A and B are shown apart, each in its own frame.
Chain A
Amino acid sequence: MKAITANRLLDGEVVFWKGGQWVERFGEAELFDTDEPVEAAVATGKGQPTVVVDVYPIDLIESEGRWAPLSYRERIRALGPTNEPTHGKQAEGGDVVEALRHAAGAARSTGRVDLIRRK
């Protein structure tokens, strides 16, 4: 599954593609399960240089029955900085924010130091 993200030119706010519009909440982002409409939407977004900058698709994974960005970086973009839990999108709270915070998978570290072999 994929979504499309960008930053709004005017204020830098992280935005997501939703049927031709750009929305601020990840929870409202349009989800794509095939590649072609993603490419078309990215192309449309890249054609709006006075609205958004840096348009690109992101991979999603399942978390607590919802979809969340696969990479840590994208989850931080969708939430806000982890050192200031009341700053950014995460401030409004709610189920989607909680699901994003708990999202594990590729970007959640579970490594164990005692399994790392010495050189």
Chain B
Amino acid sequence: MYQYDVIDREFLIDRSSEFRGQVGRRLAGEITEDQFKPLRLMNGLYLQLHAYMLRIAIPYGSLNPTQTRRLAEIARDYDKGYGHFTTRQNIQFNWIKLKDAPDILDKLAEVDLHAIQTSGNCIRNTTSDPYAGATAEEIDDPRVWSEVIRQWSTLHPEFSFLPRKFKIAITASAKDRTAAKVHDIGLLLRQGRDGTHGFEVIVGGGQGRTPYVGPSIKQFLPTDRLLSYLEAVLRVYNRHGRRDNIYKARIKILVAALGAEEFARQVEEEWSKIDAARADLPAAELARIRASFAKTPFETLPARSEAFELAKAHDSAFARFVRNNVRAHKQPGYAIVEVSLKAPEQTPGDASADQLELVADLAERYSFSDLRVTHAQNLVLPHVKQDDLPTVFAALQAAGLATPNIDLISDIIACPGLDYCALANARAIPIAQDIARQFADPDRAEEVGELKIKISGCINACGHHHVAHIGILGVDKKGEEFYQLSLGGSGAEDASIGKILGPALPADKVATAVDQLVGAYLNVRADGERFLDTYRRVGLEPFKEAVYAQAD
């Protein structure tokens, strides 16, 4: 894991002291709220419905036990004992006081955590594969490149006042766990014919009120040219992105208006003028960063663990957990363990201070002190010995963290919605809880198979509803909460934007409608088809029929 050195640490201290000064000036009335708001936003501090909300970056979704325990401490001392993991590998605290924020940032800085650029029209925390360094699928460790981008983008002097926010995702596996194609920039690491590595560059994907799957503007960008190319993309966007209309200011609108080809041409033209020797990262620094992600000291183990096989054979709950929450590891004898934050009645993505401390202990004892956060609002213990799986399972189960539902129908992504968010039109959390209740029977959930439900409380789409197999968007209809369903979206490597099913439904009909959709799917699915596959084969009509037919 990357270790902060004295430079990284002093930077965080300086940042925190700057913010303390800004808060002081705001409280003293020396700066107005209009001037202060962008400053607090660039430190992750929002004013929400009930209090301030602090969004803390978790670069490339990677936490060590010390950091995790510190998050638990902050949850206990400054919040109401819990935190909320977001769809961009950040954690949010919902009950923060402005006057405490500088102290919290100091406490975060002590453990190499920060809230820099978790809001504002700047380059945000880079999303990366939560299975990095653990999955056999990857061709390189994407965290290396995420760390390169973290440093380059931190308080970037030219790109801190962009037309709008800017989000980058990196994946090095064919299976995309980062939603790269719906980011402002998606970087897909590829191996060239000559064995060298390069990025396929996707630009202008996004969600919100105009969702796009981003087009590819470069097939193979040599990895050592990453920063100069990013500089070119950001510069073209900074100069030509729209600033007259907040809803048309994201890079996706510029790319769509120019066309991907013309946008790519402008980027190439700018790129050709950039002095690569100054803009690209020196090889020595890249090597230093790469070395800090040096190979995890795995033991040499047999591929088959007798203890693990025995436990699977005798404990059906454990076997179910393994089927759904345990993934193949690149190292024989190890496994990747998904920790579900989607227990029945739980708020999706919430973790209590006690739970955070438990997973910190487990990471320390069983996973080389490594804990990951997924964009689906779950946690991951990336390197668990198969021999240890029964013990880890028991500990997770006792803490309500072993719900065997990863990628199943109750593993629902939901934004905070109208329960917390100042922008929301409708609640998202209770809808997620309703649906999870409807599909509480784990046999049935497994029979239904992979089904990704994602709920947003407004069109900004923090809940990723556009790229859900079943997407749910909360809308305000004359002051009432209504929900618009869409089908067929995907945020993975087969990215697509969902299509609206029909008229919006009242809150108390949503779970029933999902049940009807599932019924329609089970009626017509062919062998091995996921919900998404069936939808793509048969189209919207049978599903529409299932939900709206009774109107006739």
Contact = CB atoms under 8 A, between A and B. Distances in A.
A111 B50 contact: no
A49 B480 CA distance: 32
Contacts of B508: 109
Interface stretch (B96-104, B175-183, B235-243, B527-535): B96-104
Interface string B452-480: 00000000000000000000000000111
Given A49-B32, A72-B418, A111 B52 contact: no
Contacts, number: 119
25 contacts: A10-B98, A12-B48, A12-B96, A12-B98, A49-B29, A50-B27, A50-B29, A53-B33, A71-B479, A73-B49, A81-B49, A81-B429, A82-B427, A83-B419, A83-B430, A109-B480, A109-B482, A109-B508, A111-B506, A113-B505, A114-B551, A115-B551, A116-B502, A116-B505, A118-B548
Interface residues on B, range: 35 or more
A14 B544 contact: no
B505 A111 contact: yes
A118 B552 contact: yes
Interface residues on A, range: 35 or more
Interface in A68-116: 70-73, 76-77, 80-84, 87-88, 105-116
Contacts of A12: 47-48, 50-52, 96-98
B481 A72 contact: yes
B303 interface: no
Contacts of A87: 80, 95
A79 B486 CA distance: 31
Contacts of B28: 50
Interface in B416-441: 418-420, 424, 427, 429-430, 433
A117 B552 CA distance: 8
B50 to A, nearest CB: 5
A96 to B, nearest CB: 17
A13 B482 CA distance: 28
B503 interface: yes
Contacts of A81: 49-50, 94, 419-420, 429
A92 B540 CA distance: 48
B502 A118 contact: yes
Interface in B511-552: 512-513, 544, 547-552
Contacts of B544: 118
A113 B29 contact: no
